[in-house]
Amino acid sequence: MEGGEYVKSLLIRGGKPLFGEIPVSGSKNAVLPMLAAATAFREPCRIRGVPELTDVDAALEILVYLGAEVHRDGADLLIDPRPICRWRLPEALMGKMRGSVFFAGPLLARFGRCALTPPGGCPLGDRPVNFHAQGFLALGAERDKNDPEVFSGRLTGNEIFLPYPSVGATENLILGALGADGTTVIHNAAREPEIECLCAFLRSGGAKIAGDGTNRIVITGAMPGSGDFAVIPDRMEAATFACAAASAGGKVRLEGAEHRHFGPVLDALERAGCQIRRQESHIIMESAGLHSPGEISTKPYPGFPTDAQAAFMAAMLRAEGETVIRETVFDHRMHHVPGLRAMGGDIELEGNAAHIRGVKKLAGAEVRASDLRGGAALAAAALAAEGETRIDGLHHILRGYEHFAEKLHALGADVRTV
């Protein structure tokens, strides 16, 4: 039903509640740094439960370009990093996604040299890499005078203070610190579950890392040997489908969802009137009519995740009363608002705060996805809208949601790709 490059749009005929069960895939934001981390291993490694996503394809393209041998074995990836011989990526590969920036740290660790080329990714405002660069400098790398993207030198463990708990900078600096002599301490580190997953993968190969999951991570320099680890379930996919079910109504079971990883989203959905059963191996979520949960602000983990902001907004379009959603992590992450308004959503923007007044009905419209999460949010709203919605720019969604249309279809949605 989907996956080919010819697939451009999603057609959804809404107004039907969702019922059924879907599996939650491996996490995009966990697997991308793991794939980059494979370049820091001395021996072949296995990553289990890798989702089929175009961002994963882009990471594999980078690994092959660098010289690694990559094989798929069902849902597992086997990566042999021993033949890697390149340390710099061409701009075309860097520009394909944000996750390409994670290769800088492990390549610096491996070769004592890397290029911090601005990566691609969703247009969410200014997304600088200055914290990554400051961290590399703190580890003792020097910036090339003629080519300021290039860092090189012998690395030595150090204390690094991040000005903000950036997920990507924390991951890149953990990976860079593997190649440093002595111990590195990252203060004000990000605490996201994806960082714990990356560290567990590195530890499976013998890396000495402690404190992941807290804001102080300690890394003793040494490259890992041979790694083997399973990707954690995608908490943002689970959050998106929970919001889609809240939007459309119905009862869905999200198999494999780890509820502890997106507690604030589930709590907010509960405050809005959804019933949620949190089990060890799955969650069951039921919704029939919503009211405003009050005000929500996005925050770094363990706060309300910015990646769930758009889908949550879609779910609140028909919630009685006024909901306020503040985006505090990124400067421009409201690209979904015009599409949601086109379906009849009553949203007023005041800077980075969206005031949503619940409406009784939404209606199908022609809209365009301009980023990954915003695109999925349009689909969540379309499921509740009467008539047909056409969402162009489907490739944004396929970057981060495995079998998106098939999963909606499995829940009884009337959905087609064209």
Among 44, 81, 168, 393, which residue interacts with ligand EPU (rule: CB under 6 A)? 168
Angle at 252 between CA 248 and CA 258, to 5 degrees: 120
Measured from the CB atom, the residue of 101 and 107 that comes closer to ligand EPU is: 101
The alpha carbon of 392 is separated from its chain's Cα centroid by a whole number of angstroms, namely: 21
Give yes or no for a contact between 34 and 196, defined as CB atoms under 8 angstroms apart.
no
Binding mask 10-29 for ligand EPU (x = CB under 6 A): -------------------x
Binding mask 183-212 for ligand EPU (x = CB under 6 A): -------x----------------------
Q: How far apart are CA 94 and CA 102, in angstroms?
A: 10
Among 166, 292, 389, 417, which residue interacts with ligand EPU (rule: CB under 6 A)? 166
* CB of 165 vs ligand EPU, minimal distance in Å: 7
Among 38, 108, 169, 347, which residue interacts with ligand EPU (rule: CB under 6 A)? 169
Among 12, 31, 32, 315, which residue interacts with ligand EPU (rule: CB under 6 A)? 32
Q: How far apart are CA 391 and CA 408, in angstroms?
A: 14
Q: How far apart are CA 157 and CA 335, in angstroms?
A: 41
Q: How far apart are CA 273 and CA 246, in angstroms?
A: 9
Does position 235 bind ligand EPU by CB under 6 A? no
Q: How far apart are CA 63 and CA 57, in angstroms?
A: 10
Among 266, 329, 377, 398, which residue interacts with ligand EPU (rule: CB under 6 A)? 329
Q: How many residues sit in the footprint of ligand EPU (CB under 6 A)?
A: 25
Binding mask 277-316 for ligand EPU (x = CB under 6 A): -----------------------------xx---------
Amino acid at 395: H
Token pair belonging to 41:
């291993």
The runs of H, that is alpha helices, within 249-348 are 263-271, 309-316, 337-342
Token pair belonging to 349:
């923007």
Q: Say whether 122 is catalytic.
A: yes
Give yes or no for a contact between 49 and 75, defined as CB atoms under 8 angstroms apart.
yes
Active site residues: 122
Chain positions contacting ligand EPU, by CB under 6 A:
29, 32, 98-99, 122, 126-132, 164, 166-169, 190, 306-307, 329-330, 372-373, 400
